């Protein structure tokens, strides 16, 4: 059993980083580097590159590898880099994970295969193949709302038992009973990250280790403060911060992510561009909801941006 209290090796607060596109619709590596440095300055212990928030289904392998390489080079030892390498084709996921390892990343994030609706034994084979093909730590990403398949706690724990480099889970099932089973029975050293900003504090209360965040693009400083307050025993302060951010959490998910967070980053002075097709534009109703919530972050974001540019 894994007792809570020590931060995971890859970091407790990780940002699932957006992928910026230039006016021609190509990946903007220079802006990606600027965003990466900014997020680390704002309190992230690490960055997930080319995950869902990074629009991984719309990126080519070569674009992903370029992002892994450039972000790794840009932030050096100051933070960890987790490469999004999972997909719904096992051989392809294995190959991309090997390419990511060559870029010097710290770990890989592999999502439960989507659309295929894999069985639990199929998941064991898929993730087992990835784990055996690399020395990298693997974070399993369970998000049934997007994939159409839920990895059961028993399957996850069996994977971790079989493969020493299945290092943790990004849990986005939204099911606190499922969280509890994983946290109760996980092996020593197996890390648990909430995959939902609004469930970060509840997951910490259950013994979770951290968060892989979307909202940290905007409020990374506050999320880091909430984590630190909770770890220091100041639950009242952590709760106060959570409640102050709850409207922002909701506004960032009024339509398919990462549409709102990219729109917010553009409003805060970054050059992220729009989301790639098949994602659409930010709805006007969502803009009206999110715009006033950005006001408190605008001035400090510009000041920090000037420092990292």
The C-alpha atoms of residue 306 and residue 272 are separated, in whole angstroms, by 16
Give the relative orientation of helices 284-308 and 235-251 as an angle to the nearest 10 degrees: 120
Contact 123, 155 (CB under 8 A): yes
Cα-trace Rg, the chain: 18
Set 38, 64, 141, 230: catalytic member: 141
141 flagged as catalytic: yes
Contact 165, 137 (CB under 8 A): yes
Set 64, 170, 230, 297: catalytic member: 170
Q: What is the 3-state secondary structure (H, E, C) of 235-267?
A: HHHHHHHHHHHHHHHHHCCCCCCCHHHHHHHHH
3-state DSSP assignment of residue 287? helix
Contact 242, 201 (CB under 8 A): yes
DSSP string, 136-168: S-EEEEE-HHHHS----HHHHHHHHHH-TTEEE
What residues are annotated to the active site?
141, 170
């Amino acid at each position: 059993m894994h007792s809570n209290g020590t931060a995971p090796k890859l970091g407790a607060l990780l940002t699932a980083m957006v992928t910026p596109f230039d006016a021609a619709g190509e990946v903007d590596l220079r802006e990606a580097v600027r965003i990466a440095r900014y997020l680390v300055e704002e309190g992230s212990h690490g960055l997930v590159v080319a995950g869902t928030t990074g629009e991984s289904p719309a990126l080519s392998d070569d674009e992903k590898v370029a992002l892994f390489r450039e972000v790794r080079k840009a932030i050096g030892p100051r933070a960890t880099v987790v490469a999004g390498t999972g997909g719904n084709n096992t051989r392809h996921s294995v190959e991309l994970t090997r390419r990511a390892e060559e870029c010097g990343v710290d770990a890989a994030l592999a999502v439960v295969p989507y659309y295929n609706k894999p069985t639990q034994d199929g998941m064991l084979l898929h993730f087992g193949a990835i784990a055996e093909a690399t020395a990298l730590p693997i974070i399993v990403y369970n998000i049934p709302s997007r994939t159409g398949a839920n990895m059961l706690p028993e399957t996850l724990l069996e994977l971790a038992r079989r493969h020493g480099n299945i290092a943790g889970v990004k849990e986005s099932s939204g099911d606190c009973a499922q969280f509890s089973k994983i946290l109760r029975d996980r092996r020593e050293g197996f890390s648990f990250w909430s995959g939902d900003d609004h469930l970060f504090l509840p997951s910490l209360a259950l013994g979770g280790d951290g968060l892989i965040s979307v909202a940290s693009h905007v409020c990374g400083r506050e999320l880091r403060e909430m984590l630190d307050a909770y770890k220091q025993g100041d639950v009242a302060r952590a709760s106060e911060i959570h409640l102050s951010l709850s409207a922002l959490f909701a506004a960032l998910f009024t339509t398919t992510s990462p549409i709102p967070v990219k729109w917010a980053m553009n409003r805060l002075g970054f050059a992220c561009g729009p989301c790639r097709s098949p994602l659409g534009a930010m709805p006007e109703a969502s803009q009206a909801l999110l715009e006033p919530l950005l006001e408190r972050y605008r001035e400090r974001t510009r000041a920090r941006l000037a420092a990292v540019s």
